[in-house]
C-alpha cells in the first residue's frame, strides 16, 4: 500500500515600517508596504515550505532556514521553497499538490493569482493553488497589521 501524508503549514508577518521593503507574496512583488522578516518575508512560500516539511517529517522552516543564520538574511523564499522541494524528493517523496489560503485585507490577490501559482508550482514541481480571503475588518489582520497564510501539502512515498 502506498504511503500518503498531509502536511499543514502556517506563516504570518507584520507589515514593515521600512519604506524600501517590497511586499512579496508567492514570488510576486505587490505594491504597498512590505512585510517584516529575516528573509524576503514571503508568507505564502513560507507556509508552503512548512507544509512540505511537516508532511515528510523533515522538520520545520525554523530548523531548516533559521532566522539566526545570516545566510538567509533577505533570502529569496522561492529559492528556499525550491530547495525544500528538492529535499522532499531526495527523501523519496513525490509532491502531489499544495493548496494555500492567504488571509489579508489588501492587496487583492486575484490580479496576480495565476502568476503566483505559476511561480510556486515551478518551485515545488507540482501544482500549487492560491486563494485569498479577507478577514472583513476583524482582528489584527482585519486592521491591516499583517498577512497570514495557511498551506496544505499532499505527498506520496516514491
Give how many domains the chain has, as a whole number: 1
Percent of the chain with pLDDT over 90: 96
- DSSP letter for 1, please: -
Q: What is the pLDDT of residues 43-56, one digit of tens each?
A: 999 999 999 999 99
Query: If DSSP states are collapsed to H, E and C, what string results for 5-62?
Result: EEEEEEEEEEECCCCCCCEEECCEEECCCCECCCCCCCHHHHHHHHHHHHHHCCCCHH
Radius of gyration of the chain (CA): 15
* pLDDT for position 38: 93
Distance CA 105, CA 136 (A): 7
**What is the CATH number for 148?**
3.30.1330.50
Q: Which residues form the domain of 71?
A: 4-157
User: What crossing angle do the helices spanning 43-56 and 113-124 adopt, rounded to 10°?
Assistant: 40
Spatial CA neighbour of 52 closest among 101, 86, 24, 79? 86
Q: Over the stretch 117-152, which tens digit does the pLDDT of each residue have? A: 999 999 999 999 999 999 999 999 999 999 999 999
pTM: 0.96
pLDDT reading at 1 higher than 80: no
For 8-43, write each residue's pLDDT tens digit: 999 999 999 999 999 999 999 998 899 999 999 999
Burial of 136 (0-12, 13-18, 19+ CB in 10 A): exposed
Any residues with CB less than 8 A from the CB of 2 and at least 6 apart, and which? Answer: 156, 157
- Distance separating alpha carbons of residues 81 and 88, to the nearest angstrom: 10
CA distance 63 to 16: 24
Tell me what the pLDDT averaged over the chain comes to: 96
Which pLDDT band, with edges at 50, 70 and 90, does 2 fall under? confident
pLDDT at 92 over 80: yes
Amino acid at each position: 500500500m502506498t504511503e500518503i501524508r498531509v502536511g499543514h503549514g502556517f506563516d504570518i508577518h507584520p507589515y514593515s515600517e521600512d519604506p524600501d521593503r517590497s511586499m512579496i507574496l508567492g514570488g510576486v512583488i505587490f505594491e504597498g508596504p512590505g512585510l517584516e522578516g529575516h528573509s524576503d518575508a514571503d508568507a505564502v512560500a513560507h507556509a508552503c515550505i512548512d507544509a512540505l516539511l511537516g508532511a515528510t517529517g523533515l522538520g520545520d522552516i525554523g530548523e531548516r532556514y533559521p532566522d539566526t543564520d545570516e545566510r538567509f538574511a533577505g533570502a529569496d523564499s522561492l529559492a528556499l521553497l525550491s530547495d525544500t522541494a528538492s529535499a522532499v524528493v531526495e527523501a523519496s517523496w513525490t509532491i502531489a499538490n499544495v493548496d494555500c489560503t492567504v488571509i489579508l485585507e489588501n492587496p487583492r490577490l486575484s490580479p496576480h493569482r495565476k502568476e503566483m501559482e505559476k511561480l510556486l508550482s515551478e518551485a515545488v514541481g507540482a501544482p500549487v493553488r492560491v486563494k485569498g480571503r479577507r478577514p472583513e475588518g476583524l482582528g489584527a489582520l482585519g486592521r491591516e497589521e499583517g498577512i497570514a497564510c495557511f498551506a496544505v501539502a499532499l505527498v506520496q512515498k516514491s
